Amino acid sequence: MERIKQALERARAERAAAQLADVPVLSTQKVIAQEQETKPAGPGVQVSYTETRSLSLDPEQLRAKRVLLNEVRSPIVDAYNVLRTRILQRLRANAWNAVAITSPRPGCGKTLTSINLAISLAREVNQTVLLVDLDLRRPSVIRYFTDADLPGVSDYLLEQRELAEILVNPGIERLVLLPGHSSFTNSSEMLSTPRMVRLVTELKTRYPDRIVLFDMPPLLAGDDVLAFSPYIDAIMLVVEAGGTTRDDLRRAWNLLGGKRILGVVLNKADGDSSGDGYY
């Protein structure tokens, strides 16, 4: 453990230096470096030395998929920034770093919100962000970035790939994706397998400055979120304006009653009704 600490400190120092020097350093590369160094100490996690995949992104295409990459100031970006700041404040206050993002029903835009939030978080230089696609029924995160068929969590769970093999860098600083790849019908059972638990623990605890976002299946459509909730710190609920019914929201809220709820995000709101943050 000593060595881990040392490694962490060193990494921080390096990053700070990199920031000071204004040299773009891909955090994923650092992660790989970390993993290489910590390999002997990793309890049972077999990490192979593989390059993290990098994706070349087409901003036009991303914009068409409503992913906000390098937007100028707009009400939407502002809204995301508000969300980012509030989440960060809460996470820091509670020393949390694992957030599940879900919604009462499908179609609320939680995956897109996760992506945009992850990008927004990554834009702030103080932390790295890992977005994990845990919607094992319909994994879709990676489709926003590329059409390529990349290996993902499913491969890891089926013990076909190692963690390092499936991480993807979408070409955005401080952001790493963990795609879902293929879908499971028994997704909630898969989420509680020891291998999954090990993965989550690994992802959460490896770096203190890393925020892990889990894109989860809809809350009321299955028990995935509930089954998985012990392994995460907080849950964020995405609600679709004009789509989610009050009853669904109430049920979802009551279902999460005892859990650590980060809050609710009202998505797809009317331009004017969002109100605040527009100037």
Partner 1 sequence: MEEQLLSLDDYIAILKRRKWQLIIPAVLLSIVGMITAVVLPPTYRSTATILIEQQEIPDELVRSTVTSYAAQRVQTISQRVMTTENLGKIIESYQLYPELMQRYGLVSAVEQMREDIELEMISADVIDPRSGRPSEATIAFSLSFESESPTVAQRVANDITSLFLSENLKDRQESAKETTAFLQKELAKLTDKLSLLEARLAQFKEEHGQSLPELKSLNMQLIQRSEDQLRDTEQSIRTLVERKIYLEGQLAQIDPYSELFSADGRRVLGPADRLKALEAEYATVAARYSSQHPERMRIEREIATLRQQVGQSANARAELERSLKEQQEELAGLRERYSTEHPDVKAQTGAIAITQRQLAQARQGGSANSPGVIDADNPAYIQLQAQLQAAVVELASLQESREEIRSKLADLEERIAKGPRIELEYQALTRDHENAMSSYSEVKQRLVAAELGEAMEAERKGERFSLIEPPRLPEQPAKPNRLAIAFLGLVLAFGGGVGNLALQEALDKSVHNARDVELITMGPPLAVIPFIETEADVHRRTRRRLIAVLGSILGVVLATAAVHQFVMPLDVLWIKVLDRAGLLHTETPNPS
Return the number of the residue (30 or 90) whose C-beta is nearest partner 1. Answer: 90
69 binds partner 1 (CB under 8 A): no
Tokens coding 98: 């694992």
202 burial (CB, 10 Å; 0-12 / 13-18 / 19+) is middle
Residue 188 CA to its chain's centroid (Å): 19
273 binds partner 1 (CB under 8 A): yes
Stretch that binds partner 1, among 26-34, 48-56, 164-172, 248-256 (CB under 8 A): 248-256
Tokens coding 190: 């898969």
63 binds partner 1 (CB under 8 A): yes
Tokens coding 3: 């060595």
| Sole binder of partner 1 in the list 91, 142, 200, 265 (CB under 8 A) | 265
Return the number of the residue (195 or 251) whose C-beta is nearest partner 1. Answer: 251
Return the number of the residue (31 or 265) whose C-beta is nearest partner 1. Answer: 265
249 binds partner 1 (CB under 8 A): yes
| DSSP assignment letter at 141 | G
CA–CA dist 169, 57 (Å, integer) = 10
The single-letter code of the amino acid at 244 is T
Going residue by residue from 9 to 48, which x/- string records binding to partner 1, judged by CB under 8 A?
A: ----------------------------------------
Phi, psi of 200 (to 5 degrees): -65, -45
57 binds partner 1 (CB under 8 A): no
CB of 111 to partner 1, least distance (A): 13
CA–CA dist 143, 183 (Å, integer) = 14
Query: Minimal CA–CA distance to 183: which of 140, 145, 131?
Result: 140
Tokens coding 12: 């921080």
Q: DSSP letters of 47-82?
A: ----PPEE----HHHHHHTT--SSPPS-HHHHHHHH
111 binds partner 1 (CB under 8 A): no
Stretch that binds partner 1, among 10-18, 143-151, 182-190, 247-255 (CB under 8 A): 247-255
CB of 257 to partner 1, least distance (A): 11
Q: Which residues of the shown chain bind partner 1 in the complex (CB under 8 A)?
A: 63-66, 68, 75-76, 79-80, 82-83, 86-87, 112-113, 116, 236, 239-247, 249-250, 253, 261-277
